[in-house]
A and B are shown apart, each in its own frame.
Chain A
Amino acid sequence: MNTKIATILLLASATGLAACAKKAPEVLPPAPTQTAAPTQPTPQVQPSGPAVGTQGHFAAAVGSSTTIYFDTDRYNIDTQDAAALQAQAQYFARFPQVTFTIEGHADERGTREYNLALGERRANSAKAYLVSLGVDANRISVVSYGKERPVALASNEGAWAQNRRAASVIIN
Chain B
Amino acid sequence: MKPALLAALLFTVAWPAAATAQDLGAPIGEDGPVERAATEASQAQAEEGISFTVTDESAWQDIGIAIPAFATDRDRATPANEAGTAALGREVARVITANLRNNGLFKPVGPDSLPQPTFPQITSPSFSTWSGRSAEMLVHGYVRARDDGRLVVGCYLYDVALQNELVREGWVVAPGDWRRAAHKCSDLIFSRLTGESPFFDSRIAYIAETGPKDRRVKRLAVMDSDGANHRFLTLGSATALTPRYSPDYSKILYLSYVDGNPRIYVYDIGSGKQTLVTENRNPTIAPRWSPDGKHILYSMAVAGNTDIYRVPATGGASVKLTDNPGIDVGGSYSPDGTKIVFESDRSGSQQCYVMDADGKNQKRISFFGGRCATPEWSPRGDQIAFTRIAGDFNVAVMNTSGGNMRVLTRGWQDEAPTWAPNGRIIQFFRTEQNTGRSGIWQVDLTGQNERRLPTPVDASDPAWGPIRP
User: B-contacting residues of A (Cβ < 8 Å)?
Assistant: 73, 75, 108-109, 111-114, 116-118, 120-121, 123-125, 127-128, 142-144, 146, 148-151, 153-155
Contacts and interface: CB of A to CB of B under 8 A. Distances in A.
Given A114-B350, A149-B214, 8 more contacts: A108-B413, A111-B387, A114-B327, A116-B285, A121-B301, A143-B260, A146-B262, A153-B213
A117 B350 contact: no
Contacts of B460: 112
A142 B216 CA distance: 21
Given A143-B260, A144-B283, A155-B434, A113 B374 contact: yes
14 contacts: A109-B393, A112-B461, A114-B329, A116-B285, A117-B329, A120-B304, A124-B303, A125-B304, A143-B261, A143-B283, A146-B262, A153-B434, A153-B436, A155-B434
B214 A111 contact: no
B262 A144 contact: yes
A153 B433 CA distance: 10
A141 to B, nearest CB: 9
Interface in B163-206: none
Given A113-B329, A116-B285, A108 B436 contact: yes
A70 B47 CA distance: 64
Nearest to A111: B373
B343 interface: yes
Contacts of A73: 345, 349
A108 B389 CA distance: 13
Contacts of B212: 153
Contacts of A128: 304
B416 interface: yes
A143 B460 CA distance: 22
Nearest to B343: A114
Contact of A113 (B260, B304, B330): B330
B283 A111 contact: no
Contacts of B87: none
Contact of B214 (A109, A151, A155): A151
B431 A144 contact: no
B225 interface: no
Nearest to A156: B434
Given A143-B261, A150-B213, A112 B301 contact: no
Contacts of B327: 114, 117-118, 121
Question: Which DSSP category, helix, strand, loop or mixed, fits chain B's interface?
Answer: strand
A112 B214 contact: no
Contacts of B214: 149-151, 153
Contact of B304 (A112, A116, A121, A151): A121
B433 A155 contact: yes
Contacts of A151: 214
A155 B431 CA distance: 11
B350 A148 contact: no
Question: Which DSSP category, helix, strand, loop or mixed, fits chain A's interface?
Answer: mixed
A153 B435 CA distance: 8
Contacts of A144: 262, 283, 301
Nearest to B328: A117
A117 B299 contact: yes
B239 interface: yes
Interface string B399-443: 000000000000001011000000000000001011010000000
A123 B303 CA distance: 10
B215 to A, nearest CB: 8
B241 interface: yes
Interface in B316-366: 327, 329-330, 343, 345, 349-350
- Minimum-distance CB pairs A-B, first 4: A124-B304, A117-B306, A120-B301, A111-B373
B213 A112 contact: no
Contacts of B299: 113, 117
A111 B241 CA distance: 12
Contacts of A149: 214
B229 interface: no
B448 interface: no
A142 B416 CA distance: 26
A118 B371 CA distance: 15
**Could you say which of A75, A112, A117, A146 has the most chain B C-beta atoms within 10 Å of its C-beta?**
A117
Nearest to A122: B304
Contacts of B434: 153-155
Contacts of B233: none
A96 B239 CA distance: 32
Contacts of B305: 121
Interface in B251-279: 255, 260-262
B459 interface: no
A114 B373 contact: yes
B306 A111 contact: no
B85 interface: no
B67 interface: no
Given A118-B327, A143-B260, A150-B214, A123 B285 contact: no
B286 interface: yes
A99 to B, nearest CB: 14
Contacts of B433: 155
B234 interface: no
A112 B242 contact: yes
A83 B328 CA distance: 31
A29 B434 CA distance: 35
